[in-house]
Amino acid sequence: MIPGIDNPVLFEFNWAASAARARLLGPHRKGPRVFGVGAAKTGTHSIGQMFDDRVASAHEVDVETLIYLHLHREKTGKSETLWRFLKRRDAVRNLKIDASHINLYLIDDFEALFPGSLYVMTIRHPFDWLRSFIDDSLRRDASDAFMRFRDYRFARGGVHPPEETLLKDRGLFTVAGYLDYWCAAMRAVERIPKDRRLVVRTDDISTRSADIAEFCGVAGGAAPSDRSKAYVNPERSGVLHQLPRAYVDAMIAEKCGELVQNYFPKHE
C-alpha cells in the first residue's frame, strides 16, 4: 500500500471525473511536452500558469500523488506504478506545459516515457532561495505528503550547529540540508541535453516570457506581467536574516560555490 492512495490500481480509473472537475483537458497538444523543473520557490508556479490561457498548462497538478509514488519508488526500487500513473496522467491531462518542483525527481522518467520533451529550469541564488523557502515553510501548514517530502529532501543535513539554534527552535531543517537540496536541483539541469533545456533566473521570468513562449512553442509571444509572477510570498519572517550573515555566506560558499559562480557570477 502507498500512503495517501488507498489502492493505486483502482485510483487510476477515476481519471475522467477528476479531469472534468479540474477542467484541464485542453485542445490536442502540438509539439513536444514541456516540463518546468525548478526547485520549490524558484518560479515553477509562474511557468505553470503564464500561458494557461493559450495551451493546456498547470502547476503541481497531482503533486501529492506523485510525491507518494516517488517516495514509494525510492523505498522499493520499483518504478512500475509510478510509470503507469505518469502515462495515464499524460493521456488524460493532455498538458503542454507541466510545471512542478516534484518534476526534478522525475526527469529520468520523463526522458524514458516521453522522449524529446523540453525543460524550463528556473533557478534562484541560494541566499534568496533560502530566505523564500524558510518564509514559505513558516507561513502555512503542510499536508502529510509535503511533510514527508520535506523530510526526504532536507533531513539529511544532520543536527543543527549552534549558529542555527533559531532554525531548530522554529522546527526548520539545517542550512546544510536546505543547500544540499538546492545543489541537487541545480545539477539536475546538467542531465538534460542543452538543445532541450532553457535556464531562466527567477527574477528574469517576466522579462524573458517571450523567450520562454518561443522555446515552449506557444504562440502569442510574451505573457502579460501579471501572469508571469505568480505565488510570491506575501510576507517575510526575517528568520534567515537573524542568523549570522557571515556564517550563511560561508555555508553557501562551501556547499554551492562552483554552482554560484557558474550561474550567478554577478549576484550581490
Are 70 and 153 contacting, i.e. CB atoms less than 8 angstroms apart? no
Closest by CA position to 44, among listed 132, 168, 131 = 132
Q: What is the pLDDT of residue 25?
A: 47
The span from the CA of 182 to the CA of 176, in Å, is 10
Q: What is the pLDDT of residue 171?
A: 93
| E strand residue ranges, 42-173 | 57-59, 97-99, 118-123
Q: Helix, strand, or coil here: 60?
A: coil
Are 154 and 75 contacting, i.e. CB atoms less than 8 angstroms apart? no
Task: Measure CA of the first residue to CA of the last residue in the chain; give whole Å.
Answer: 48
Q: What is the pLDDT of residue 234?
A: 57
| E strand residue ranges, 85-134 | 97-99, 118-123
Q: What is the pLDDT of residue 139?
A: 78
> For the chain, which residues score pLDDT lower than 70?
1-28, 226-235, 267-268
Domain 8-263 fold is: Rossmann fold (3.40.50)
Cα 235 off chain centre by: 21
The span from the CA of 83 to the CA of 69, in Å, is 9
The span from the CA of 55 to the CA of 49, in Å, is 10
Count of CB atoms situated within 10 Å of the CB of 11: 17
- Specify the pTM: 0.88
Q: What is the pLDDT of residue 230?
A: 57
Q: What is the pLDDT of residue 268?
A: 57
Strands of 57-59's sheet, edge to edge? 57-59, 97-99, 34-36, 118-123, 197-201
Q: What is the pLDDT of residue 156?
A: 83
Radius of gyration of the chain from Cα atoms? 19
Cα 101 off chain centre by: 1
Q: What is the pLDDT of residue 21?
A: 41
Q: What is the pLDDT of residue 87?
A: 95
Return the domain boundaries, the chain.
Answer: 8-263
Are 75 and 63 contacting, i.e. CB atoms less than 8 angstroms apart? no
How far, in Å, are 66, 95, 110, 133 from residue 129 at the CA level? 23, 28, 26, 6
Structural element, H or E, at residue 9:
helix 8-11
Task: Show Cβ contacts of residue 142 under 8 Å, excluding neighbours closer than 6 positions.
Answer: 150
Q: What is the pLDDT of residue 5?
A: 54
Count of CB atoms situated within 10 Å of the CB of 60: 19
pLDDT in tens, 210-257: 999 999 999 999 888 766 665 555 567 789 999 999 999 999 999 999
The span from the CA of 194 to the CA of 196, in Å, is 5
Closest by CA position to 8, among listed 60, 69, 75, 97 = 69
C-alpha cell at 202: 527567477
